[in-house]
Structure 1
Amino acid sequence: MLTVQLCRVRGNEDLALPAKMSTGASGFDLCAAVTEELVLQPGEWKLVPTGISIAMPEHLEAQVRPRSGLAFKHGITMLNSPGTIDADYRGEIKVIMVNFGDHPFRVNRGDRIAQLVFQEVAKVQLEQVDELVSSARGAGGFGHTGV
């Protein structure tokens, strides 16, 4: 088990801490730390605070992902999905919510708006070369298999 430190941003002691909603869940639900109701009109996006910051080991990243229920039922998702929280970032986690639905969507303090999933990050060193080794696929992409 890995340990990630979590700190509440002052003034958010009333909010629930991120939590997994089932024993098999991979993500911790994040709550909206808005001070008053926020309304997302269709096609509109806003930066929504969560009231928490984290510190994690260097070999981890945290990914902020949309909640499937909000996406399916209301057309609510995130513009930069998944949002990446780097191991050395110590600021408040915020979510860029967007309304792709047909109706205004209301976000209230404490609403579950996104989920936080932790992933290991591979240590990679980039090496510049003049030519890449070939592969069976080659440069084919964006539907090259017919779909």
Structure 2
Amino acid sequence: MLHHVQINRLSGNEDVLLPVKMSELASGFDLHAAVAEPVVLMPGERKLIPTGFAIAMPGELEAQIRPRSGLAFKHGITCLNTPGTIDADYRGEVKVLLINLGQEPFTIVRNERIAQMVFQTVPVVEFEEVDELSDTVRGSGGFGHTGK
């Protein structure tokens, strides 16, 4: 099913690439940094990086911001709050919360690919309050209850 998402390139970012799929069957759109000057991310440091655009999407969608595997593997750069959620009613600039979990400073330059954005459908959910839940074999076991 085709979903139409409006995108607005923010003023001053005419040179920043819009989200793009890097291969035909990619699920995510790569996002590019819209930093005015290079940003150095020191080990253990986190910063909010602008992308230079805002979006409007139908109510049945959400956009998830996820790390790029190459940056994570090669440099230890990943996203906090992963996946970050952009709700359908948000109209502000899309920004990416990056952290450097690596051992070396990492410099982010304008138009560098910093994350990916994946769209997902959001189911319509309605809660039904009950006095008791049905039993399962697992029950309330969690947080490693099945072993290593």
TM-score (norm 2): 0.97
Give the distance between the partners of 1:142 and 1:17, measured in 2 at CA.
40
After TM superposition, give the deviation of residue 135 of structure 1 in Å: 1.1
1:21 to 2:22 alignment = yes
TM-score (norm 1): 0.98
- Tell me the alpha carbon deviations over residues 23-43 of structure 1, each in whole angstroms, 9 at most, x when there is no partner: 110000000000000000000
Listed as ranges, the matches of 1:1-147 within 5 Å are 1-147=2-148
After TM superposition, give the deviation of residue 117 of structure 1 in Å: 0.2
Give the distance between the partners of 1:38 and 1:57, measured in 2 at CA.
33
Cα RMSD over matched residues? 0.7
Give the distance between the partners of 2:99 and 2:147, measured in 1 at CA.
32
Q: 4+ residue stretches of structure 1 with deviation over 2 A?
A: none
Give the distance between the partners of 1:90 and 1:26, measured in 2 at CA.
23
Give the distance between the partners of 1:134 and 1:95, measured in 2 at CA.
41
Structure 1, unpaired ranges of 5+: none
Give the distance between the partners of 2:18 and 2:80, measured in 1 at CA.
24
Q: How many residues align?
A: 147
After TM superposition, give the deviation of residue 85 of structure 1 in Å: 0.2
Structure 2, unpaired ranges of 5+: none
- Tell me the alpha carbon deviations over residues 56-95 of structure 1, each in whole angstroms, 9 at most, x when there is no partner: 1100000000000000000000111100000010000001
Counterpart amino acid of residue 39 in structure 1: V
After TM superposition, give the deviation of residue 111 of structure 1 in Å: 0.3
Tell me the secondary structure at the aligned position of residue 114 of structure 1. Answer: strand
